[in-house]
Chain A
């Protein structure tokens, strides 16, 4: 913390009185919590995580020398230790987050280890999705009973894996019910500890899980999934811009970062004509799960936009780019070429807008992000064989010059201001 280091100097120079300096010091100390407690919490979770994972690996070795009955007894050892630790925490250490988090983490992993070992001893055939489902369901209550945030993160990771194993290509939507079961904990966490690290991790893992989980919707009209993804990323950007995230760090705003990167990735990918041609040939089933999901997610996005518009808040281009994408999708069915041209134009406009915003706010990061976006578009065009080498070469030189000049101009502007 720079400010705390500067305090003695500020007091000495008479800028602030000692009283204010003490108050500032007290404020930051209370805000950060006791460093010792945090260290204990992190080492407790790490310890439980490593021991739990170690037990799974030791079990996976499959000890031939042990008889079936010995193995069966050993199966329950980690589970019982975990349950005892959990019980002790509830009775004696309920207020100690280190105990709560580490006992929940250990118990979480030992439940998985126990089921895995039983499957191994009895050669139960591999169905990873059933295993993950049982494991997650048996451990969900730990999140609420032991109030464990790390168990919640493990649960989110587990159900996301389950979505891929059990939901992809199988029309199985159990993942969504499991996700609903963890959301109350997430909302409570956001409300009670909006600035904590655990909340930040959730802000990353929840949108990542949603993006992966969306794949479970795929059935016959997979092309429509593009609208689902684009709208979901649009919703992420809208959430990332919301009042809740206004005071939080950029790095903990997983919604905004994933929304930006995802939308940019899809738009650059869709700047190729071939992809729009494929979409134009696709037959769209109105009642397919993809269509229903696309309507639902876009509906959520539009509602958020309307609310924002009614509150007369500033809406940036990236927040409603998903609406343009829906129009482009419809246009592709009339002309793939037109959709391709408009996608390229859209990417260019977004890139230029970001560059302009960067220049206005004197923000080098934003300026270069915009330039990178335009460069990505040009690199993508580099692979289009129907463009002449000379033209591609000129474009590259121009963008290179753009990078150089824009940064030079910005740095010069800063030096003038400072002088």
Chain B
């Protein structure tokens, strides 16, 4: 059949494209996990769900604002770069934000301006980290939230996200409460 001379190769091309998309997603993330620098971000999780990807915990980071002088220079949805530093407690902090990738450091993450708001006498840029979801087994997501709430009652406990960063991109590798992975924490509580 003449038509299949075009249709079959076209179908093979479509199949390759369908394979290419997930493979390139995996390659990119694996490279960051393998060669990226590790940071710990202090966080506060809760448990919603996604129709396709299942249950996850949302990570709200404690430092999601940064003071700026001129509010009009930071329009909504503008791509920004968060310069990272590690403080004396070992947690990541944002030392600076810029509108171009920094030349002096490789420790930065690309993000977007959510909005600019005036409070405490200064303008502040609000942004979201590109790793705000941690997918969990559906039975564990709710218990993870409970574990987190319990840890909140105790001020000595700290919840943080372990993130690998490379060339502006970041991949979340785990969420921990006082150094124990949240999955393990749930399993321990079940025993």
Q: Which A residues contact B (CB, under 8 angstroms)?
A: 56, 59-64, 72, 75-76, 79, 83, 86-87, 90-91, 94, 107, 111-126, 128, 131, 134, 138-139, 141-142, 145-146
Query: What separation, in Å, do the CA atoms of A123 and B171 have in the docked complex?
Result: 7
A123 touches B172 (CB 8 A): yes
Given known contacts A75-B22, A131-B52, A138-B21, A60 and B138 CB-to-CB distance under 8 angstroms: yes
Residue of A63, A119, A122, A145 with highest tally of chain B CB at under 10 A: A122
Q: List 24 A–B pairs whose Cβ atoms lie within 8 Å, in order of A's numbering.
A: A56-B52, A59-B54, A60-B51, A60-B53, A60-B138, A62-B136, A79-B19, A79-B22, A83-B18, A83-B19, A90-B4, A91-B8, A107-B18, A112-B52, A115-B21, A115-B25, A117-B53, A119-B53, A120-B54, A121-B135, A122-B25, A123-B134, A123-B135, A128-B50
Residues of B within 8 Å of A142, CB to CB, are 14
- The residue of chain A having its C-beta at the shortest distance from the C-beta of B32 within the complex is A122
Partner of B131, one of A112, A125, A138: A125
Question: Apart from A114-B22, A118-B25, what are 16 other A-B pairs with CB-CB below 8 Å?
Answer: A62-B54, A62-B137, A64-B137, A75-B26, A86-B15, A90-B7, A91-B8, A114-B18, A119-B53, A120-B54, A122-B25, A124-B29, A138-B14, A139-B18, A145-B10, A146-B11
A79 touches B14 (CB 8 A): no
Q: Separation in Å of the B16 CB from the closest CB of chain A?
A: 9
B25 touches A124 (CB 8 A): yes
Q: Which B residues contact A (CB, under 8 angstroms)?
A: 1, 4, 7-8, 10-12, 14-15, 17-19, 21-22, 25-26, 29, 50-56, 130-138, 140, 171-172, 183
Residues of A within 8 Å of B171, CB to CB, are 122-123
Partner of A111, one of B18, B29, B138: B18
Contacts across chains A and B counted by CB atoms under 8 Å? 111
- The residue of chain B having its C-beta at the shortest distance from the C-beta of A122 within the complex is B29
Residues of A within 8 Å of B130, CB to CB, are 125
Given known contacts A86-B11, A119-B53, A126-B50, A79 and B18 CB-to-CB distance under 8 angstroms: yes
Residues of A within 8 Å of B137, CB to CB, are 61-64
Residues of A within 8 Å of B172, CB to CB, are 123
- The residue of chain A having its C-beta at the shortest distance from the C-beta of B140 within the complex is A64
Given known contacts A86-B11, A145-B10, A138 and B29 CB-to-CB distance under 8 angstroms: no
Query: What separation, in Å, do the CA atoms of A87 and B11 have in the docked complex?
Result: 7
Q: Separation in Å of the A185 CB from the closest CB of chain B?
A: 15
Query: What separation, in Å, do the CA atoms of A126 and B133 have in the docked complex?
Result: 7
Residues of B within 8 Å of A113, CB to CB, are 52
- The residue of chain A having its C-beta at the shortest distance from the C-beta of B132 within the complex is A125
Q: Separation in Å of the B165 CB from the closest CB of chain A?
A: 14
Q: Separation in Å of the A147 CB from the closest CB of chain B?
A: 9
Residues of A within 8 Å of B53, CB to CB, are 60, 62, 116-117, 119-120, 126
Residues of A within 8 Å of B56, CB to CB, are 123, 126
Q: Separation in Å of the A105 CB from the closest CB of chain B?
A: 15
Residues of B within 8 Å of A138, CB to CB, are 14, 17-18, 21
Query: What separation, in Å, do the CA atoms of A63 and B171 have in the docked complex?
Result: 19
Query: What separation, in Å, do the CA atoms of A166 and B53 have in the docked complex?
Result: 18
Residues of B within 8 Å of A112, CB to CB, are 52
Residues of A within 8 Å of B19, CB to CB, are 76, 79, 83
Residues of B within 8 Å of A123, CB to CB, are 56, 131, 133-135, 171-172
Residues of B within 8 Å of A141, CB to CB, are 10-11, 14
Query: What separation, in Å, do the CA atoms of A37 and B15 have in the docked complex?
Result: 28
Query: What separation, in Å, do the CA atoms of A38 and B1 have in the docked complex?
Result: 26
Q: Separation in Å of the B50 CB from the closest CB of chain A?
A: 6
Query: What separation, in Å, do the CA atoms of A61 and B141 have in the docked complex?
Result: 10
Query: What separation, in Å, do the CA atoms of A121 and B138 have in the docked complex?
Result: 14
Query: What separation, in Å, do the CA atoms of A265 and B52 have in the docked complex?
Result: 34
Q: Separation in Å of the A94 CB from the closest CB of chain B?
A: 7
Residues of B within 8 Å of A76, CB to CB, are 19, 22
Residues of B within 8 Å of A72, CB to CB, are 26
Residues of A within 8 Å of B51, CB to CB, are 60
Query: What separation, in Å, do the CA atoms of A142 and B15 have in the docked complex?
Result: 10
Residues of A within 8 Å of B8, CB to CB, are 87, 90-91
Query: What separation, in Å, do the CA atoms of A131 and B51 have in the docked complex?
Result: 12
Query: What separation, in Å, do the CA atoms of A116 and B26 have in the docked complex?
Result: 12
Residue of B14, B17, B171, B183 with highest tally of chain A CB at under 10 A: B14
Query: What separation, in Å, do the CA atoms of A401 and B134 have in the docked complex?
Result: 63
Q: Separation in Å of the B66 CB from the closest CB of chain A?
A: 19
Q: Separation in Å of the A79 CB from the closest CB of chain B?
A: 6
Query: What separation, in Å, do the CA atoms of A42 and B25 have in the docked complex?
Result: 35
